[in-house]
Amino acid sequence: MNMAKLATILVVVSALLIAWILYWGSGMPPWAVAMSVSMVLVFALLVWVAAPRPSPEALLARELAAMSDVALVQGKVLGVKRLGERETHTLREIRLSLDIALDGIEQSVTLQILVEDTRLPDFSTGSILHFLQDPRQPERLAIDRRKSPTHIK
């Protein structure tokens, strides 16, 4: 179950619990009502904090994909390292070491991304990946998700 569905279920259950407490809570001591409401709020906060957010690289990819003059470049994966910091049951955070021709000069670049388990083989050492590059700031580089997808649609 993804985090959005879990958050929706939690909000509905929380609203029902709060309504029940307000309607039937007249016989409950005030501390029990306060504790019940506090627990609902704490769990809602935990779900919100734990919910996966787009990585900085994914946000940059969206921004670059919307640009009309973005440069399309290719790069070769030299190495892959699993980081394990922002992982879910289907997403893996990896750091790619890449060899990319930026402005016609071969350069080594590292990029940190989230990849779905089923797409990990596409990002293995030796793979050729497609990237979007900002022509005004060549160091701004992100994966072209149309040609090198990181998730199954």
Residue 136 has pLDDT above 60, yes or no: yes
AA identity, residue 57: E
Rg (CA), the chain: 22
Residue range 56-143, CATH number: 2.40.50
All residues at 6 or more sequence positions from 105 whose CB lies less than 8 Å from its CB, including other chains: none
Question: Of 110, 114, 121, 46, which Cα lies nearest the Cα of 86?
Answer: 114
Global pTM reads 0.66
- pLDDT over 50 (residue 1): no
**Tens digits of per-residue pLDDT, 48-104?**
776 667 788 889 999 999 998 898 999 999 999 988 777 777 888 899 999 988 767
Q: What does the alpha-carbon distance between residue 148 and residue 61 come to, in Å, rounded to a whole number?
A: 12
Distances (CA, A) of 7 to 10, 12, 29, 39: 5, 9, 29, 15
CA-based nearest residue to 54, from 104, 121, 3: 3
* CA 108 to chain centroid: 24
